[in-house]
Amino acid sequence: MKSNRIILILIFFGIGYVLYYKDKAGPIGSLWKTVTGVFQSKGSDLEKKNPYKAPEPDNEASATKGDEKYDDVATATNKKSTDKKEPTKDEGSIFDKIKDKVFNQDSQEETTDNGEIPDFALPAIRKSDEIIKHKNYTLRYEEDYEVPAWVAHKLRGEYTTGRASRGDNQFMPDRKVKGNSALSGDYSSTGYDRGHMVPAGDFKCCQELMTETFYMSNICPQAPDFNRGIWENIESRIRGWAVRDEELFIVTGPVLRKGLPTIGRYNNVAVPEFFYKIALFYQPKSGKTPRAIAFLLPNEALHGKRMNNYVVSVDEVEKATGLDFFAKLPNELQAKLEANSSWEAWTKIQ
């Protein structure tokens, strides 16, 4: 009997030891991963939800550009589910409502400024341009391509932290576009990601601002490994610079030209061959030296490539796109900033 108790104690001690060290580095952790890996589905990694991939089209749902009944296939599907009169989140208990209000308070707070983008941060605008303004970003939409030519936003360091959530990644048609924007369903079964021009991660401070980044007017077709690879790395690096510098102005977009391939079940959405992103530091009252940096990258998988290999001058981006960036800056300053784009000037600043 005594020996049995000792064996049981040793067994319980061994189980506790394994459970304690299973998630830590070392032989126990490695053994745990090996054993549990045997019982996991081989396709589990491939089946993880991809937040950028458009949902597969519903054969029973239909949508056209400007459809009044359904904005999109996804909207149609959501409409069907709500027609069943199932309880929604708003119909939860009083406790749930109080809990959401208390624990999600940080994600609902407003920004400390009105998000207005100064004229000097915008590309030159012609009378014929279709300009769309949202709370914290402005864009020029191109109906012929069903993507934006450029999207400009102000990025403050304080915007990059908070509890705002991507939620269900509800990509929405933009009703502000005159002829209506592309639809999420245009990306279904195409192999392309719905790539943000203004990243959702730039507005972790505030749920409203993050949600606005899911308008389809802010989206372009991007190769998956590009969108989730070097492009995401550049977005993250710029957020770090915004924290350091307090405030930056960002202009992002595709390089558009006639004859680009298209995707789309409902609209002809151009697939750009290149994308650019420009960051401007300009705080005249601070006394600090203004500077700009630009990236120009092919829309393809760039495994093992470093982002600094794709730094170009703003002048080069202007040549590729035909756009005139920072047109409202003083001429001499504009010429200087656009001719010089230095990776070292941004990375070596303390």
C-beta separation of 267 from 187 below 8 A = no
Secondary-structure percent of the chain, ordered helix, strand, coil, rounded to 5: 40, 15, 45
Catalytic residue chosen out of the listed positions 134, 153, 196, 303 = 196
C-beta separation of 149 from 141 below 8 A = yes
DSSP state of 111: P
- What element of type H or E holds 274? strand 274-281
DSSP state of 58: P
Q: Is 134 a catalytic residue?
A: no
The Cα 126–Cα 131 span in angstroms is: 10
Pairs from 44-50 (Cβ < 8 Å, separation ≥ 24): 50/193, 50/224
Q: Which of 250, 261, 179, 249 is nearest to 220 (CA)?
A: 261
User: Residue 104: phi, psi to the nearest 5?
Assistant: -105, 15
Buried b (16+ CB within 10 A) or exposed e, 186-209: bbbebebbbbbbbbbbbbbbbbbb
- Residue 213 CA, chain-centre distance (Å), reads 7
User: Pairing relation of β-strands 147-156 and 247-254?
Assistant: antiparallel
* Terminal-residue alpha carbon distance, the chain: 69
As beta bridge partners, residue 148 has 141
- What element of type H or E holds 132? strand 130-133
C-beta separation of 205 from 111 below 8 A = yes
C-beta separation of 154 from 316 below 8 A = no
DSSP state of 198: S
Q: Which residues are annotated as catalytic?
A: 196
